[in-house]
Structure 1
Amino acid sequence: MNTEPVPLPLRAKLATTLLKSAAALSRATGRGDGSVIGGRVGLKVEPQLLAMLARGKEVALVSGTNGKTTTTRFIAAALGALGEVATNSFGANMPTGHTTALAQSTGAPYAVLEVDEHYLRGVLPQTTPRVVALLNLSRDQLDRAMEVGMMAEAWRKALDGVSTHIVANCDDPMIVWAASTSREVTWVAAGQRWQEDSFVCPNCGRHLDRDGVHWACPGCQLRRPTPTWSLDDTDAVLAPDGNRYEVTLQLPGRVNKANAATALAVAARFGVSPAQALPRIAQVASIAGRYATVVKGEHVIRLLLAKNPAGWLEALDMVEPGCPVLLAINARDPDGLDTSWLYDVDFSPLRGRRVLVAGDRAYDLCVRLDINEVPFEHVPNFGTALDRTGNGRLEVIANYTAFQDIRAELDRVN
């Protein structure tokens, strides 16, 4: 494929210039990284700007409910072995963010874009990607998000017959059904610990049979495909050529090793071998502050983002034994306004440790913890949590805007 930059028409050049100016102004005034406002301005001037900026680039798209940002960062790091990579590294995963990412790196021959599940159908034809990675589908933002089966069906229709190569998680029945209309699929055994959204077959409605990692529908032909990329019992990656690759990451949890396996599968489609990709992936230390460990005086604070039941399941497994934990919940527009998903999370692993609770909807979380028989302390903010826990390590798990609040408050703590 030709990866030479395609000259932009005059209107698109103007749109790109205004985009960069708006993004720079947003950063200068402390209103954010400028990805959203920049893309909004650019697309207002030239509605086809995203498609124009994508021309001549080899593009990978990454979508799913959880793990998009991390997997995108891993793939971008791996493709760095080939040259400059444009990417929306701060997680602005709608067309405004995609447009800004491409505009900021017009000379980059490669692009790796995280895509919100609802926007994949529209971004796909605009960017004509070489590879699309599909990670997982589970419930998220229940007050406004599409039901999981409906999302899988929408993806299935969008991917029907496309020439783009799909890298998909064979352990998620919803992903398998969505990807099965595609012409070319590479299956990755990326795991599915959260199975509560895939009890029934999305194709015929029968209850799925599960035997360990294997699953199959007794009423139709839908079943777990044989993966060509997988993790073994020691969390090493098994590649299609039979070679075994140790995965060393700075990010915690087996889920991130599965994300790395997906990244290796995508990178291989671009000609980057695991031996080339793994050292680059190992350098990724945090994702927009997620998993970051911050030292403030005598405090050592680790920040974990969890936005939905599947994410909380993984985050609760990552907390260090014996450390106090701060849980923070908001229900603002970016989070979704419905907190009923808290009742799908099992908080019992927190029994026996010190638990603090904060956030706009802290009382909702307090009720949930009480039902799970987890003792807790309510605190008004992050600073109070630090004062209450004293010196030492504190693990923080928060949903999206609560996470951002804590990062901002952490910056203000002396």
Structure 2
Amino acid sequence: MSSHLPRRAKFASALLRTAAALSRATGRGDGSVIGGRVGLIVEPRLLELLAEGRQVALISGTNGKTTTTRFTTAAVEAAGPVATNSFGANMPTGHTTALAKAPQAQFAMLEVDEHYLGQLLEAAHPKVVALLNLSRDQLDRAMEVTSLAGKWRDVLKGVEDVHIVANADDPLIVWAASVSPNVTWVGGGQRWQDDSTICPWCGKHLDRFGEYWRCTACGATRPSPQWSVSDFGDQVIGPDGSRYELDLQLPGRVNQANAAMALAIASIFGVHPAQAAPRLTSVKSVAGRYAKVQRDGRQLRLLLAKNPAGWLENFDMIEPNTPVVLALNAREVDGFDTSWIYDVDFTPLRGRQVYVIGDRRTDLAVRLQVDDVRFTVLEDINAAVSTVPAGPVEVVANYTAFQDIRKEFDRVN
């Protein structure tokens, strides 16, 4: 792979790695973005050149793409070295850096921001594209979900040499993927359904019964999944009915669905699920998500929730009778509009000890009051640690609030 690079691309790759290393050395980040930016300035086709000759999977969706990419990487590593953007830098600069840092890797498992899927299809020539889900996210700057599904549908039309692995439970995903002649359907459940009540084919109301959905007007219906999660969530069921045990270190039904997606993707790269499934156990934290931190007699588990669907899934993961710290910011990366918190059902937190921190803690406090959830507003994570009782604590935060908390713990530890 790297041996076939033109001289200019080799030079660009060397500069990329140097810029990334300097960024890490100066504490400015992991270097994925700046490294890729430098490399692409020197050689605009660097991403395409680095992807040439590799077997590539692109994994995209509103939620779960970082975890699914990490699961898939662990599974496919059974077949050989894998290049991946494991820190979540999911735009072309991050993809370029990931490929440049692993020049000999035959495989590349790349998490892709939803808005860049078309660009990556052209540049990376993937073998597999995995479509997880679509839901409302960052309302002040993100595309409306039906429009985004339509954009995906358009870029997938006529793409016959790519195998699509798609979530059968999300009507928007099915609509986008159904233009492809080569689709593997995965069923893992979809708790958040508020963005898929209207049929994307005809605009009429969808009837929904759990994961099953159907349009009585045009007949569109949930496809039968080849891969699914067992009722108890402890197994993935393959296309031939074989069952593969899951022993995940990550909590929640959503991660069981992510695991099923990973096994489906890995199988296309020739990794048998019996070989792949045990490897998923090695994934214990994903870019700090689900990490456990010990501080002053408290055991804090860090959960990331960036949008209504993510908050709903996290409420399903938190342990009973455990205090909960909620953190909300509204910076550029998060989106400045916090009105989406009124789409979140906070009633599962009733009766718990709830503590609220973050730049927009007052907004969140008002929202909790609407749902009759009792809470205490605190200044920051240090104040929360000082206030909550000793023992386990769940911390649920949106993106920059999550990063602030991680930095504080890293600074002290």
The TM-score, its normalising length taken from structure 2, stands at 0.98
Kept in 2, the 8 Å contact 1:247–1:278? The answer is yes
- 2:255 aligned partner: 256
Amino acid at match of 2:277: L
Question: Is structure 2 residue 272 aligned with structure 1 residue 238?
Answer: no
Query: Over residues 69-122 of structure 1, what are the superposed CA-to-partner deviations in whole Å (9 max), with x where a residue is unaligned?
Result: 000000000010011000000000000000000000011000000000000011
Kept in 1, the 8 Å contact 2:295–2:385? The answer is no
- 2:43 aligned partner: 46
- 2:158 aligned partner: 161
Q: 1:67 aligned to 54, 64, 67, which one?
A: 64
- 1:312 aligned partner: 311
- 2:22 aligned partner: 25
Query: Which stretches of structure 1, 4 residues or longer, exceed 3 Å deviation after superposition?
Result: none
Whole-angstrom CA distance in 1 between matches of 2:315 and 2:158:
40
Whole-angstrom CA distance in 1 between matches of 2:217 and 2:264:
31
CA apart distance, 1:7: 1.0
Kept in 2, the 8 Å contact 1:77–1:280? The answer is yes
Kept in 2, the 8 Å contact 1:5–1:56? The answer is no
- 2:321 aligned partner: 322
CA apart distance, 1:213: 2.3
Whole-angstrom CA distance in 1 between matches of 2:362 and 2:317:
24
CA apart distance, 1:411: 2.0
Question: Is structure 2 residue 275 aligned with structure 1 residue 298?
Answer: no
Whole-angstrom CA distance in 2 between matches of 1:319 and 1:266:
29
Paired positions, count: 411
Task: Give the fraction of aligned pairs with identical amino acids, expressed as a percent.
Answer: 65
Whole-angstrom CA distance in 2 between matches of 1:60 and 1:274:
17
Query: Over residues 314-340 of structure 1, what are the superposed CA-to-partner deviations in whole Å (9 max), with x where a residue is unaligned?
Result: 001111111111000000011011100
Amino acid at match of 1:100: T
Whole-angstrom CA distance in 2 between matches of 1:276 and 1:6:
31
Whole-angstrom CA distance in 2 between matches of 1:222 and 1:128:
30
Whole-angstrom CA distance in 2 between matches of 1:122 and 1:176:
21
Kept in 2, the 8 Å contact 1:5–1:55? The answer is no
Whole-angstrom CA distance in 2 between matches of 1:319 and 1:90:
24
Q: 1:149 aligned to 140, 146, 150, which one?
A: 146
Question: Is structure 2 residue 83 aligned with structure 1 residue 105?
Answer: no
Q: How does 1:266-277 map to 2 (within 5 A)?
A: 266-277=265-276
Whole-angstrom CA distance in 1 between matches of 2:2 and 2:265:
22
- 2:222 aligned partner: 224
CA apart distance, 1:301: 0.7
Amino acid at match of 1:8: L
Query: Over residues 251-271 of structure 1, what are the superposed CA-to-partner deviations in whole Å (9 max), with x where a residue is unaligned?
Result: 000110000000000000011
Whole-angstrom CA distance in 2 between matches of 1:374 and 1:232:
34
Whole-angstrom CA distance in 2 between matches of 1:72 and 1:103:
18
CA apart distance, 1:231: 1.1
CA apart distance, 1:238: 0.8
Amino acid at match of 2:187: A
Amino acid at match of 1:395: E
Q: How does 1:332-371 map to 2 (within 5 A)?
A: 332-371=331-370
Identify the range of structure 1 (211-220 vs 187-196) with the bigger mean alpha-carbon deviation: 211-220
Question: Is structure 2 residue 48 aligned with structure 1 residue 37?
Answer: no
CA apart distance, 1:297: 4.0
SS at match of 1:15: helix
Whole-angstrom CA distance in 2 between matches of 1:223 and 1:5:
45
- 1:283 aligned partner: 282
SS at match of 1:365: helix
SS at match of 2:110: strand
SS at match of 1:129: coil
Query: Over residues 30-84 of structure 1, what are the superposed CA-to-partner deviations in whole Å (9 max), with x where a residue is unaligned?
Result: 0000000000000011111000000010001100000000000000000100110
Identify the range of structure 1 (216-225 vs 193-202) with the bigger mean alpha-carbon deviation: 216-225
Amino acid at match of 2:134: L
User: Unmatched 5+ residue regions in structure 1?
Assistant: none
Query: Over residues 221-252 of structure 1, what are the superposed CA-to-partner deviations in whole Å (9 max), with x where a residue is unaligned?
Result: 42100110001212111101111112110000
Amino acid at match of 1:132: V
SS at match of 2:282: coil
Kept in 2, the 8 Å contact 1:304–1:396? The answer is yes
SS at match of 1:406: helix
SS at match of 1:291: coil
